[in-house]
C-alpha cells in the first residue's frame, strides 16, 4: 500500500483553467501576488493525510513528530489535533508546543547538550520524557530534578551501530557519532540510575539510526538490538524496561529517481521484527514510540520564487536567478540535496531549455537546482520547488541580512499566514549601538 511520503507533490496539486498551478485549491500565482516571494506554502490536506497514513500503519504506537523538521505554532496545533506527540530538541521547540496548547506529557526532550536553563524549563512544564544522551546529562538532570523535588521519566539514547546508506552528516546510529551511549557504555549509565540518581526513572531505550532512509532492513536490525538490550538489562539489573523509541528517518521523494518505502512497508517490517524478537529474547511487549519528521511535513510544503536575472555562460551553463536561495533553503549547499521544480504560471508554446536555478546570495555555491529542464524562463515567472516542508524554514537564516520568508497554510481554497514575513526592522531589532559609538 502506498503512502504520501512517496509522492513528489502535495496531493492537492492541480492546474487551474488559466493554466496556473494550484495547491489546496489556491492559485500559486495569486498567492505570490498576495503574500510576495520567496514564500513557503504548506498544504493542510497533505499534512493531515500523511498523519492518517501513519496512524493506520502503526496502530497502538505512540507517534512523536520530530519537531526539528518544521516547528511553528500552527503546525504544532495541527499535529496535536491528529494525536501526535512531539520529539523536541530545544527550549524553543518546547515553548512553541506549549504556546500551541500541546499536552506537555506528550513531549520528549532529546539532544546531546541540553543546558541547565533548557532542562529547568522542561521540568517546569512537566514534559513527559527526557531522552538522555550522555553521562554529564544524567548527573545534571538528576541534580536539577532533585532541587525541584521532581521525578523524571527517562530513556537512554543509544547508538546501535547501524550504518545507513544516506549522507554522512545525517547518519546518527553508527558507532562514531556525537549522539547517545555506545552499546558498551549502557551498563555504566544504568548503574548510577539504579543506585545514585534517585530522581530519575529509567523507562526504556531510544535510538535513531539516520535520516532520509530508503532501506527497510535497518529497522529490523534496530528492533533486534533494542529488544536484546532490554532483555539483557532486565536480567542483569532486575529492572523492567518497557519502552522502545525507534526514532524516525523514513525517506521522502525529492526527485523522480527517489524511491522511498511507504510507511506501511516500514510498519510491516517493524511489527514482524518486534514479534520475532520479543519471543526470541523473552520479554513482554514494550510500548513503541516512533518519531517521523521529514516524512510527515516535507511533501506538504513547497517554496515559491520569482525569476529575476539570467546569465548565459559562453559555451557553458545558463543561470537563472531566483529571489531566494541558500538562506531559505540551505540543504543543497549543505548536503548536495536535489529538488524538483516547475513553473507555476501558465507557459504556452515555450521551448524547453536546460538551466541552473541560482540563488541571489553572495556565494558561488548558492545553487538550488542544477541542470533542470524548464520552459524558457522570463523575468517575473514563478517557480515552485516541491518537497520543501522539512528543514527549509527550520534551517533558514538572515545571511546577507535578508528577511526570512512568510509561510502560508492552504486548505479548501483558503490561505492563512502562519509565519509572518520578516521586515527590515526585524533584521535590526536586536542590534545595539553602544553609547560611546554614537556621535
Q: Count Cα atoms within 13 angstroms, Cβ side, for 88.
A: 31
* Parallel, antiparallel or unpaired: strands 129-132 and 152-159: parallel
- State the Cα–Cα distance between residues 407 and 302, nearest whole angstrom: 10
Nearest partner of 26 among 40, 38, 41, 37, judged by Cα: 41
Nearest partner of 270 among 10, 63, 32, judged by Cα: 63
Contact 362, 400 (CB under 8 A): yes
Q: Could you tell me the three cell numbers for 168?
A: 554522512
- State the Cα–Cα distance between residues 39 and 322, nearest whole angstrom: 12
- State the Cα–Cα distance between residues 156 and 237, nearest whole angstrom: 15
Q: Calculate the dihedral angle through the C-alpha atoms of 15, 21, 24, 29, rounding to the nearest 10 degrees.
A: -140
Q: Count Cα atoms within 13 angstroms, Cβ side, for 259.
A: 3
Produce one character per residue of 100-128: b if its CB has 16 or more CB atoms within 10 Å, e if not.
bebebebbbbbbbebeeebbebbbebebb
* Parallel, antiparallel or unpaired: strands 414-419 and 287-290: unpaired
* Parallel, antiparallel or unpaired: strands 287-290 and 14-15: unpaired
Catalytic status, residue 362: yes
Nearest partner of 109 among 176, 64, 174, judged by Cα: 64
Contact 294, 34 (CB under 8 A): no
Residue of 51, 164, 362, 384 marked catalytic: 362
- Give the burial class of 308: count Cβ atoms within 10 A of its Cβ; 0-12 exposed, 13-18 middle, 19 or more buried: middle
Active centre residues (catalytic)? 362
Amino acid at each position: 500500500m502506498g503512502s504520501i511520503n512517496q509522492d513528489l507533490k502535495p496531493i492537492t496539486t492541480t492546474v487551474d483553467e488559466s493554466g496556473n498551478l494550484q495547491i489546496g485549491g489556491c492559485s500559486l500565482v495569486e498567492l505570490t501576488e498576495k503574500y510576495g516571494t520567496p514564500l513557503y506554502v504548506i498544504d493542510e490536506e497533505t499534512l493531515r493525510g500523511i498523519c492518517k497514513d501513519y496512524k493506520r500503519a502503526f496502530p497502538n504506537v505512540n507517534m512523536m513528530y520530530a519537531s526539528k523538521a518544521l516547528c511553528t505554532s500552527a503546525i504544532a496545533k495541527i499535529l496535536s489535533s491528529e494525536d501526535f506527540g512531539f520529539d523536541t530538541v530545544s527550549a524553543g521547540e518546547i515553548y512553541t508546543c506549549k504556546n500551541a496548547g500541546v499536552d506537555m506529557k506528550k513531549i520528549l526532550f532529546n539532544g546531546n547538550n541540553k543546558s541547565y536553563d533548557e532542562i529547568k524549563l522542561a521540568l517546569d512544564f512537566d514534559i513527559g520524557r527526557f531522552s538522555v544522551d550522555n553521562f554529564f546529562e544524567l548527573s545534571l538532570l538528576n541534580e536539577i530534578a532533585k532541587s525541584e523535588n521532581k521525578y523524571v521519566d527517562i530513556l537512554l539514547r543509544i547508538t546501535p551501530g547501524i550504518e545507513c546508506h544516506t549522507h554522512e552528516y545525517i547518519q546518527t546510529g553508527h558507532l562514531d557519532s556525537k549522539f547517545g551511549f555506545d552499546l558498551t557504555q549502557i551498563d555504566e549509565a544504568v548503574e548510577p540510575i539504579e543506585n545514585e540518581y534517585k530522581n530519575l526513572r529509567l523507562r526504556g531505550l531510544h535510538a535513531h539510526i539516520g535520516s532520509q532512509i530508503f532501506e527497510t532492513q535497518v529497522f529490523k536490525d534496530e528492533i533486534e538490538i533494542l529488544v536484546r538490550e532490554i532483555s539483557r538489562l532486565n536480567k542483569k539489573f532486575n529492572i523492567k524496561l518497557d519502552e522502545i523509541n525507534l526514532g524516525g528517518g523514513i525517506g521522502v521523494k525529492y526527485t523522480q529517481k527517489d524511491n522511498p518505502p511507504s510507511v506501511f512497508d516500514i510498519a510491516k517490517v517493524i511489527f514482524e521484527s518486534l514479534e520475532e524478537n520479543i519471543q526470541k529474547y523473552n520479554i513482554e511487549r514494550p510500548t513503541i514510540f516512533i518519531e517521523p519528521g521529514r516524512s510527515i511535513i516535507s511533501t506538504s510544503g513547497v517554496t515559491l520564487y520569482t525569476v529575476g536575472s539570467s546569465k548565459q555562460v559562453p559555451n557553458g551553463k545558463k543561470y537563472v536567478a531566483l529571489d531566494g536561495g541558500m538562506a531559505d533553503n540551505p540543504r543543497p549547499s549543505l548536503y548536495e540535496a536535489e529538488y524538483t521544480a516547475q513553473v507555476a504560471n501558465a507557459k504556452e508554446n515555450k521551448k524547453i531549455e536546460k538551466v541552473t536555478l541560482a540563488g541571489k546570495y553572495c556565494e558561488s555555491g548558492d545553487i538550488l537546482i542544477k541542470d533542470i529542464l524548464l520552459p524558457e524562463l522570463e523575468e517575473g515567472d514563478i517557480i515552485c520547488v516541491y518537497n520543501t516542508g522539512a528543514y527549509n524554514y527550520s534551517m533558514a537564516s538572515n545571511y546577507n541580512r535578508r528577511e526570512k520568508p512568510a509561510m502560508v497554510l492552504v486548505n479548501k481554497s483558503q490561505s492563512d499566514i502562519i509565519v509572518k514575513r520578516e521586515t527590515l526592522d526585524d533584521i535590526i531589532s536586536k542590534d545595539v549601538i553602544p553609547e560611546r559609538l554614537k556621535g
